[in-house]
């Protein structure tokens, strides 16, 4: 009975499906197209209606679970998107309604339909429930879902890559604009470089022409400089090989109150010393510096003489006079406006050498300080060491005397302070700070002009002699008396050498004193331009010593020592 019913139902379903296919060819074509385009599930055939077959369907019947499961397994879902759209606005026919109804029935059947629970008869064995395995369609759907997800991710990556590409494209455009701007700048700079190269070429040509012109002018300048040097030194020589000037110091306050001046000035360069009712008569010298002359004014009158040392001539400037007459003040001086000849000469030599460097001259300076104390020579700049004097071929050699290079003017100030600290001084009745030694400051000047090949080595000697004095007037005793005796003896030998040089004696006793040995080249036994500055005191009480000083100055002025010669290197 059950078998007959089942076979009848299947046959009825088959006939119904063919009938629907015959009535609805469009639906059949749609199924074929869907099957051809992809692995879509086939539409399940509709179950036969009892109205058409005259039989009741066993689908979902509690009496046929096997058929229910088979039917459910063979029915496939039809997606909504695969349904053929309606192309007519007419109301659907009965066959179409049945077709749609069959499709809806099949769509419902594609779902897992669980048969309603049947009441198991008493005494019948229970049938176990089974779980459906995933079909190939489910696996393919899962793969499709994964592929769709992967496609979405790749689409997102592609979109990000597109956005990055757009950004890079914008950056490339910006860089291209910058590159074009930089290229324009480079082109402009290249044009400027070309212009500058052209200008440099013109400047080089002009520079070569100017070098030739400068060479000619330099040659002319050297010739004229040589002429000027010769004329300058000829003028110095015309004034006398030993130039003598006199300086009268101002009277001190104590002297103004107790004494009167014994000095008269009949003309600019003459002087008279009145000794009571006796007069020395007018004596004329190269220059007479009255008490109103300042340190600066005195130096201006003698700087052309010092300039000869830069021209390659030996030069000697000697300060002579009685004690307390202002020799050390004239030569060493104080600070600022009271600076003496020695520090001012340093400044002048440095500044004048800078001017001569413009004509190609190069100079090197070195300095030595020598002291003659009790007829012995000492180094004022090196621990007061003893210096030995030797006469070699009519020149004196100073063994053990240190030389100190001078690179700048400030170096001179340091050396001066050292020499001042080492020099011998003492207080006497005539002078509170009486120098008890002769101080000789020696500048060695080396000059060279490469363009002419001329090089010279000259010496500038600035001498501050100790003052002559009388034992009765100075009141010295003991060691100071010995110092006074040696000072007076050396000054006496100096005066004797000058007198014998003036009388052109064949023998001049330079060896009799260390002082005259050192000053030998300044007194006629050598090659030097010499100036003597005689310092005197204006007080009437010192008139006798002042008269003796200017008489010695007049004798030196008449002394012929010969023309100086430029000290060129061989």
Other beta carbons within 10 angstroms of residue 276's beta carbon come to 9
Give CA–CA dist 181/186, Å, rounded. 9
Residue ranges of the annotated binding site for ATP are 321-328
Residue ranges of the annotated binding site are 321-328
Give CA–CA dist 365/302, Å, rounded. 20
Q: DSSP code of 407?
A: S
CB distance 287 to 270 below 8 Å: no
Across the strands, what pairs with 248? Answer: 536
Instruction: Describe the chain by its helix, strand, coil percentages, rounded to 5.
Output: 50, 20, 30
CB distance 273 to 315 below 8 Å: no
By C-alpha distance, which of 257, 274, 278 is closest to 265? 274
CB distance 534 to 550 below 8 Å: yes
CB distance 371 to 378 below 8 Å: yes
Long-range contacts of 160-166, Cβ-Cβ distance < 8 Å, separation of 24 or more: none
Give CA–CA dist 39/41, Å, rounded. 7
By C-alpha distance, which of 74, 61, 44 is closest to 6? 61
Ranges of beta strands (E only) in 67-153 are none
SS3 58: coil
Give CA–CA dist 176/265, Å, rounded. 96
Other beta carbons within 10 angstroms of residue 355's beta carbon come to 10
Give CA–CA dist 320/374, Å, rounded. 18
CB distance 370 to 384 below 8 Å: no
Give CA–CA dist 460/363, Å, rounded. 14
Reading the block at residue 23, the tokens are 């009535």
Give CA–CA dist 41/212, Å, rounded. 110
Taking the mean position of all CA atoms in its chain, how far away is CA 445?
A: 34
Burial of 154 (0-12, 13-18, 19+ CB in 10 A): exposed
The CB-side HSE value for 564 (13 A sphere, CA atoms) comes to 36
Phi, psi of 339 (to 5 degrees): -60, 145
Task: Using the structure block, give the residue that is written with the tokens 């050699």.
Answer: 397
SS3 497: helix
Reading the block at residue 223, the tokens are 């010739």
Reading the block at residue 168, the tokens are 């890079």
The Cα-based distances of 371 to 204, 376, 385, 529 in angstroms read: 58, 8, 10, 22
């Amino acid at each position: 009975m059950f078998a007959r019913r089942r076979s009848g139902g299947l046959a009825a379903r088959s006939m119904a499906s063919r009938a629907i296919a015959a009535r609805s060819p469009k639906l059949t074509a749609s199924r074929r197209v869907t099957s051809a385009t992809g692995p879509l599930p086939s539409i399940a055939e509709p179950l036969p209606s009892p109205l058409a077959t005259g039989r009741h369907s066993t689908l979902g019947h509690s009496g046929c679970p096997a058929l229910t499961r088979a039917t459910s397994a063979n029915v496939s879902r039809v997606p909504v998107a695969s349904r053929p759209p309606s192309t007519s606005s007419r109301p659907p026919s009965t066959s179409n309604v049945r077709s749609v109804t069959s499709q809806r029935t099949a769509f419902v059947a594609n779902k897992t339909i669980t048969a309603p629970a049947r009441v198991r008869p008493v005494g019948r064995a229970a049938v176990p429930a089974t779980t459906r395995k995933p079909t190939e369609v489910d696996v393919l759907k899962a793969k499709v879902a994964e592929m769709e997800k992967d496609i979405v991710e790749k689409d997102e990556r592609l979109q990000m890559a597109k956005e990055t590409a757009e950004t890079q494209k914008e950056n490339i455009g910006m860089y291209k604009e910058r590159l074009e701007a930089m290229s324009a700048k480079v082109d402009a700079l290249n044009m400027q470089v070309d212009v500058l190269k052209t200008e440099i070429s013109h400047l080089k040509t002009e520079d070569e022409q100017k070098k030739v012109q400068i060479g000619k002018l330099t040659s002319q300048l050297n010739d004229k400089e040589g002429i000027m040097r010769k004329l300058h030194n000829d003028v110095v020589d015309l004034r006398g090989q030993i130039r003598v000037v006199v300086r009268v110091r101002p009277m001190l306050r104590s002297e103004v109150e107790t004494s009167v001046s014994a000095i008269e000035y009949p003309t600019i360069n003459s002087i008279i010393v009145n000794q009571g009712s006796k007069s020395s008569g007018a004596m004329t010298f190269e220059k007479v510096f009255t008490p109103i002359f300042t340190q600066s004014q005195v130096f201006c009158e003698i700087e052309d003489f010092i300039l000869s040392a830069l021209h390659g001539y030996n030069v000697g400037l000697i300060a002579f006079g009685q004690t307390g007459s202002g020799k050390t003040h004239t030569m060493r001086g104080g600070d600022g406006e009271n600076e003496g000849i020695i520090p001012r000469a340093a400044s002048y030599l440095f500044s004048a050498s800078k001017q001569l460097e413009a004509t190609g001259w190069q100079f090197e300076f070195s300095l030595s300080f020598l002291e003659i104390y009790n007829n012995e020579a000492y180094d004022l700049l090196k621990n007061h060491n003893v210096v030995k004097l030797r006469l070699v071929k009519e020149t004196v050699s100073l063994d053990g005397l240190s030389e100190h290079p001078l690179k700048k003017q400030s170096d001179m100030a340091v050396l001066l302070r050292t020499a001042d600290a080492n020099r011998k001084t003492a207080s006497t009745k005539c002078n509170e700070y009486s120098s008890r030694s002769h101080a000789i400051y020696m500048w060695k000047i080396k000059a060279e002009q490469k363009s002419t090949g001329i090089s010279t080595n000259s010496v500038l000697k600035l001498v501050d002699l100790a003052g002559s004095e009388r034992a009765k007037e100075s009141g010295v005793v003991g060691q100071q008396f010995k110092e006074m005796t040696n000072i007076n003896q050396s000054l006496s030998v100096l005066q004797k050498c000058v007198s014998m040089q003036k009388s052109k004696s064949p023998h001049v006793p330079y060896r009799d004193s260390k002082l005259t040995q050192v000053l030998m080249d300044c007194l006629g036994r050598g090659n030097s331009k010499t100036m003597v500055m005689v310092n005197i005191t204006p007080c009437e009480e010192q008139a006798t010593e002042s008269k003796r000083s200017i008489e010695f100055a007049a004798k030196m002025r008449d002394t012929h020592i010969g023309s100086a010669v430029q000290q060129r290197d061989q």
